[in-house]
Amino acid sequence: MTKVAVLTSGGDSPGMNAAIRAVVRTGIYYGMEMFGIMRGYNGMLEDDIFPMNSRSVANIIQRGGTILKTARSKEFFTYEGRQKAVANLEKRGINGVVVIGGDGSFTGALKLSTEFNIPCIGLPGTIDKDLYGTDFTIGFDTAVNTAVEAIDKIRDTADAHDRLFIVEVMGRHAGYIALHSGISTGAENILIPEAETNIEEVIASLSEKEKRKKLVNLIVVAEGDEFGGANQIAKIVKERLPHLDTRVSILGHIQRGGSPSAMDRLIASRMGYHAIESLMEGRHNVMVGVLNNEIAYTPLEIAIREKQSISSDWLRIVKILAS
């Protein structure tokens, strides 16, 4: 392994820069030539590839977003597009690629490796924590902390006005941000895609709390909840309990930005280091993850195909602590 490129793809997440830094500096330490690819697979197609050195990644570990930018590429998901992208790698002699992103990004990496025999390593860069084979993904901890800080502030307003706030957090297919931020902020209800939403239970819970003169309530909803998010839940609540002062707050993309937490910087640095180690050891086409605080390697195909499941224990904890 002599020349390695790194790219970020899909949605950005805090800690991607820390991962880029670790990949580049570890590769240089072992005598490799390192390259950055701008805007993910788009940059690979458009030959937007440049050499990187230690100074290229100086003073970025604390920055959110990604210095390599990110984009989604429809052309890359055609065989002709991938041929064009691979030609750009081959003319530089690049013989390894580190892909930082989610399952869509890993699908592209798997295509590169199976069709053109290019060794690829995936690093789980997504705030959703929805990849199989790792307890944490790069950016998840920061996103949860951002949501918790916002929800804590919303609770102050809810308390001042005796209101019900329905707060929507990101998570189209995964409810981990809602689950972790909801428990951390004492939400009365947490609605996630992985569990069926019993709207009658939600209404009954709010009615029961109203009888107990508990007028300050928080419901945290993942955007991918089966009812379609916070606005739809609020509509039902207002129809059934019109006397409740109900407000909606959608946190949106603030959860993706900001300086990464210490935990995300550490995870990203550790994973980036092991990405290069894996390529050197001949361990290819795997995702580097962390399971039980140990580095774990999951074949890209399995990381893409399998889905994380939320333990029923968590759902029981939510129900008991909110009672």
Task: Check residue 244 and give its pLDDT.
Answer: 87
> 287: domain CATH number?
3.40.50.450
* Residue at 25 is within a domain: yes
How much is the CA Rg of the chain, to the nearest whole Å? Answer: 22
Tokens of 12: 């950005």
Within this chain, do residues 39 and 105 fall inside the same structural domain, yes or no? Answer: yes
Within this chain, do residues 145 and 116 fall inside the same structural domain, yes or no? Answer: no
- Residue 128 is among the residues annotated as catalytic for this protein: yes
Task: Check residue 320 and give its pLDDT.
Answer: 86
Task: Check residue 160 and give its pLDDT.
Answer: 86
- How many distinct structural domains can be found in the chain? 2
Burial (Cβ within 10 Å: 0-12, 13-18, ≥19) of residue 46: middle
Within this chain, do residues 177 and 135 fall inside the same structural domain, yes or no? Answer: no
Q: Is 126 annotated as a binding residue?
A: yes
Within this chain, do residues 201 and 121 fall inside the same structural domain, yes or no? Answer: no
Q: Is 322 annotated as a binding residue?
A: no
**Range of the structural domain that residue 290 is part of:** 3-139+260-305
Q: Compute, in degrees rounded to 10, the torsion defined by CA atoms 34, 36, 42, 45.
A: -40
* Residue at 322 is within a domain: no
* Residue at 103 is within a domain: yes
* Residue at 320 is within a domain: no
Task: Check residue 214 and give its pLDDT.
Answer: 65
Task: Check residue 261 and give its pLDDT.
Answer: 98
Q: Is 258 annotated as a binding residue?
A: no
Candidate list 128, 130, 225, 264, residue with the active-site label: 128
Q: What is the pLDDT of residues 90-130, one digit of tens each?
A: 999 999 999 999 999 999 999 999 999 999 999 999 999 99
Q: Is 272 annotated as a binding residue?
A: no
Pairing of strands 217-222, 164-169: parallel
Asked whether the beta carbons of 12 and 70 are under 8 A apart, the reply is yes
Within this chain, do residues 251 and 176 fall inside the same structural domain, yes or no? Answer: yes
- Cα separation, 52 vs 30, whole angstroms: 14
For 42, 159, 201, 273, the CA distances from 8, given in Å and listed in that order, are 11, 41, 42, 16
String of b and e for 283-304 (b: at least 16 CB within 10 Å)? ebbbbbbbeeeeeebbebbebb
* Residue at 311 is within a domain: no
Which of the residues in the chain have pLDDT under 50? Answer: none
* Residue at 315 is within a domain: no
- Global confidence as pTM: 0.94
Long-range CB pairs of 88-95, under 8 A, 24+ apart, other chains included? 88/44, 88/45, 88/47, 88/49, 89/5, 89/44, 89/49, 89/118, 92/3, 92/35, 92/49, 93/2, 93/3, 94/3, 94/4, 94/5, 94/35, 94/49, 95/1, 95/2, 95/3, 95/4, 95/119
Within this chain, do residues 197 and 103 fall inside the same structural domain, yes or no? Answer: no
Q: Which residue among 194, 225, 256 closes a domain?
A: 256
322 residue type, one letter: A
Within this chain, do residues 11 and 133 fall inside the same structural domain, yes or no? Answer: yes
Within this chain, do residues 180 and 225 fall inside the same structural domain, yes or no? Answer: yes
Q: Is 105 annotated as a binding residue?
A: yes
9: Cβ–Cβ under 8 A, 6 or more apart, which residues? 40, 41, 70, 71, 72, 99, 100, 101, 104, 105, 108
Within this chain, do residues 82 and 228 fall inside the same structural domain, yes or no? Answer: no
Within this chain, do residues 133 and 19 fall inside the same structural domain, yes or no? Answer: yes
Asked whether the beta carbons of 223 and 170 are under 8 A apart, the reply is yes
Asked whether the beta carbons of 97 and 298 are under 8 A apart, the reply is no
Within this chain, do residues 102 and 226 fall inside the same structural domain, yes or no? Answer: no
Task: Check residue 56 and give its pLDDT.
Answer: 97
Q: Is 163 annotated as a binding residue?
A: yes
Q: Is 216 annotated as a binding residue?
A: yes
Q: Is 39 annotated as a binding residue?
A: no
Q: Is 146 annotated as a binding residue?
A: no
* Residue at 210 is within a domain: yes
Count of alpha carbons within 13 Å of 149, Cβ hemisphere only? 10
Within this chain, do residues 298 and 240 fall inside the same structural domain, yes or no? Answer: no
